[in-house]
Every structure is written in structure tokens, then in C-alpha cells.
């Protein structure tokens, strides 16, 4: 089995998070808590740690088995298959959501004359190529691109420090903790994607040190996202930030240094495209691998193309515009949907495995 390092796993996690949040989180985060909305990110980060704890305990209990393998052992053949099929749907749904959101951004701001299906097919075709080559290729691509993405974002942050207006962040808790706690629900489903680290745990080489790496990655991303929200809201103000569809892109457009350092929005777009590509590739791979196990196929690669077709179809029908996309992403719908797969199912598997006394095979045996 091909293995990746903890560092590559963490960078894949950062790519998934960056693709889903880097341009779109602040308007969502500003909708309820206003000036103090950046406080909802640390709250959501703390709330995501139990998700990481559950999937890590489960992964350490079955270190050499994937979700479908130990799901069938714990729940039985039929229920295990149902669980695996549910996760195939989840992987496809989240991938289609990100593809559609990226598509809406392009057709709205950059390529309004391009048929949406062309962009969908191109992006999914690229993800299919990476998925066919396995998680090692995705890990190496993350290792190549993600550090540059962080460096670029910190450059944008540094430029906007001169525009930092602390008064735009006050009052922090003008309406109390209620809006902050409620607003954290809009962020938790994305931070809850940390459960993916438990899904790819069997392909990590140094599993003994995975826990500390994953915990540090989760906390580090929460801190980065809090800083991002603070700078965005301090620059634009909470009311304007809440109305911006892609405030991260707007933040990059404002960069003007000495009359020569500009056009940063183009570089941000390139970085975002890379992050979306890595995220879609990971979900594409997980969906194809899980489906192959359900169908008892040794080679998941023959399913990569059909899974890509399903992804394009789902992306086409799930939302026609930004309003429909935001309706799907509202907490009343999206939070229960995502937490069912991120926390409820893994916790149920863990409790059932503990009650039945089931563990993975000894690797030394």
C-alpha cells in the first residue's frame, strides 16, 4: 500500500480547508455576530476537536482498515454496505458543492460568457487524473503548492495591516455570546472536515505521531482563519463584509504597493484553483475507492470516470445560482447534514466497536 507522511496529510487538510473557506467564510461569519464574528472561529475550532478525537480513536482502533472495512465488521455486512454507500454520497455531494461554488465564481466574476458545463468538465477531468494516481500524488501536489499559498496569504495580510481599523471590530460582544455561538455553526461544518484525517489514516506512515500533528493542524488552521476574519472585517467593516460574495478576492484586489505590486487577485485565483483541484481530487478518490470496495472491485481506477460524471451531474442540479447555494448552506440544513457524517456515524461506530470488543488486526501478526 502506498503511504504518505503526516506532513503531507496535514497539507492535504489545509488544501481542503483553504479551498472551501479562503474566499467565502467571512461573509458567512459576519452575518450574525457582526463585528465580533471572528470570535466564532475559535469557538468552532474548539467544537471540531471532539470530531478529531473520535475519528482518531477509531482510526487507532483499526489502524490498517478503512471506514468500509471496519464498518462491515462492526455493523455487519448489510449495514456496513449501507454506511459505505452513504459516505460515497457524502463525498460526491461535498465535491459537487465545491465544484459548483467554484463554477459560480468563475461565471459570475471572470468568465461570464463561458458555458458552466465547460468549466465543470475541465475541473472534474483534472481531479480524475489525480485521483487515478492515488493519494500519494495528491499529497505531493499539496506539498508543492500549499506552502506557497500560505506565504501568499500572509503577504496579503501584511499589506492590509496598514488598513487595519480596530474600531471595525468593536464591540466584540455587543449582543453577548448568543450570536457568536450561533454563528459558529456556520463555520463548524467546514472545520469538521478534520474527520478526513481519520479517513486517510491507514495510508499514513508514522501513525504513532499522527495525533499531535493533526491536533496542531486543526488549531493552526483555526488561528489562521480567525486572523483572516479579523483583517477582512477590520478592512471592509462587518456590514460590507457580510454583503460581499467573495471577500477574500476583494481583499486581494485592494493590494497596491508602490505602483508595482498589484494584480494579487490573479495570484489568489490561481492558488484557489489549486486548492479546489486538490480538494475535489481527494473526494473523487475517496468516493471511487469506497464504491470499488462496495462492488468488490480490486481496481478502483475503473470507477474514477463514472464517479466524475456523477459529480458533474450533481453540481449541475444542486444549485442554479448563489441564492440557492446559500439556501443549502444555511445552518438548519448544512450543519445536521455534515455533522451526521463527521461525528454521528463515527461516534456510533466507535461505541458499537467498544461494546462488541472489536479491534483491528495486530500489525505485528
State the Cα–Cα distance between residues 252 and 223, nearest whole angstrom: 20
pLDDT one-digit tens code per residue, 296-332: 888 899 999 999 999 988 988 887 777 777 788 788 8
Per-residue pLDDT for the chain (365 aa), expressed as one digit of tens each? 678 999 999 999 999 988 777 666 654 555 555 666 778 889 989 999 999 999 999 988 998 888 878 888 899 889 999 999 999 999 999 998 888 888 877 777 667 777 777 878 888 898 999 999 999 999 999 998 899 888 888 888 887 777 777 777 777 766 677 777 877 888 888 889 999 998 999 999 888 888 999 999 999 999 998 888 888 888 877 777 777 767 777 777 777 665 556 666 777 778 888 888 999 999 999 999 999 999 988 889 999 999 999 998 898 888 777 777 778 878 888 899 999 999 999 999 999 999 988 887 544 33
Any domain includes 353: no
What is the CATH number for 72? Answer: 1.20.1740.10
Q: What is the pLDDT of residues 271-295, one digit of tens each?
A: 888 888 999 999 999 999 999 999 9
Residue 56 forms part of a structural domain? yes
Asked if the structure places residue 176 within a domain, the reply is yes
The secondary structure of 91-103 as a DSSP string is HHHHHHHHHHHHH
d(CA 328, CA 318): 9
Query: 72 in a domain, yes or no?
Result: yes
DSSP classification of residue 171:
-
Q: Do 299 and 292 meet the contact criterion of CB atoms below 8 Å apart? A: yes
For the CA atoms of 232, 236, 237, 243, what is the dihedral angle to 10 degrees?
Answer: -90
Determine, yes or no, domain membership for 18: no
How many domains does the chain contain in total? 1
Residue 356 lies in a domain: no
Q: What are the backbone angles phi and psi of residue 116, rounded to the nearest 5°? A: -55, -35
Chain center to CA of 140: 18
Contacts of 254 (CB under 8 A, 6+ apart): 160, 163, 235
Residue 259 Ramachandran class (φ > 0 left, ψ -120 to 50 alpha, else beta):
left
266 belongs to a structural domain:
yes
Give the residue numbers spanning the domain of 56: 25-348
Residue 227 in domain: yes
Amino acid at each position: 500500500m502506498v503511504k504518505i507522511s503526516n506532513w503531507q496529510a496535514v497539507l492535504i487538510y489545509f488544501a481542503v480547508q483553504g479551498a472551501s473557506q479562503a474566499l467565502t467564510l467571512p461573509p458567512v461569519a459576519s452575518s450574525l455576530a457582526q463585528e465580533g464574528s471572528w470570535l466564532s472561529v475559535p469557538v468552532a475550532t474548539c467544537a471540531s476537536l471532539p470530531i478529531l478525537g473520535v475519528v482518531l480513536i477509531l482510526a487507532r482502533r483499526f489502524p490498517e482498515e478503512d471506514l468500509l472495512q471496519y464498518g462491515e465488521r462492526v455493523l455487519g455486512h448489510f449495514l456496513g454496505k449501507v454506511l459505505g454507500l452513504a459516505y460515497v454520497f457524502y463525498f460526491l455531494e461535498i465535491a459537487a458543492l465545491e465544484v459548483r461554488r467554484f463554477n459560480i465564481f468563475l461565471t459570475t466574476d471572470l468568465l461570464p460568457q463561458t458555458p458552466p458545463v465547460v468549466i465543470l468538465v475541465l475541473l472534474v477531468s483534472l481531479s480524475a487524473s489525480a485521483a487515478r494516481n492515488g493519494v500519494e500524488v495528491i499529497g505531493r501536489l499539496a506539498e508543492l503548492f500549499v506552502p506557497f499559498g500560505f506565504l501568499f496569504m500572509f503577504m496579503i495580510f501584511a499589506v492590509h495591516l496598514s488598513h487595519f481599523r480596530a474600531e471595525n471590530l468593536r464591540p466584540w460582544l455587543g449582543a453577548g455570546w448568543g450570536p457568536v455561538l450561533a454563528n459558529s455553526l456556520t463555520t463548524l461544518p467546514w472545520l469538521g472536515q478534520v474527520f478526513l484525517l481519520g479517513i486517510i489514516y491507514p495510508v499514513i506512515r508514522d501513525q504513532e505521531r499522527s495525533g499531535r500533528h493533526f491536533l496542531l493542524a486543526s488549531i493552526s488552521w483555526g488561528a489562521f482563519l480567525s486572523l483572516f476574519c479579523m483583517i477582512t472585517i477590520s478592512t471592509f467593516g462587518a456590514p460590507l463584509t457580510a454583503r460581499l460574495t467573495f471577500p477574500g478576492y476583494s481583499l486581494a484586489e485592494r493590494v497596491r504597493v508602490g505602483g508595482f505590486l498589484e494584480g494579487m487577485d490573479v495570484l489568489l485565483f490561481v492558488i484557489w484553483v489549486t486548492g479546489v483541484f486538490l480538494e475535489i481530487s481527494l473526494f473523487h478518490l475517496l468516493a471511487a475507492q469506497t464504491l470499488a470496495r462496495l462492488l468488490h472491485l480490486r481496481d478502483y481506477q475503473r470507477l474514477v470516470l463514472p464517479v466524475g460524471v456523477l459529480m458533474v451531474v450533481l453540481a449541475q442540479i444542486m444549485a442554479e445560482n448563489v441564492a440557492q447555494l446559500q439556501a443549502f448552506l444555511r445552518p438548519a440544513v448544512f450543519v445536521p447534514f455534515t455533522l451526521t457524517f463527521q461525528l454521528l456515524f463515527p461516534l456510533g461506530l466507535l461505541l458499537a466497536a467498544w461494546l462488541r470488543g472489536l479491534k483491528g488486526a495486530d500489525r505485528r501478526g
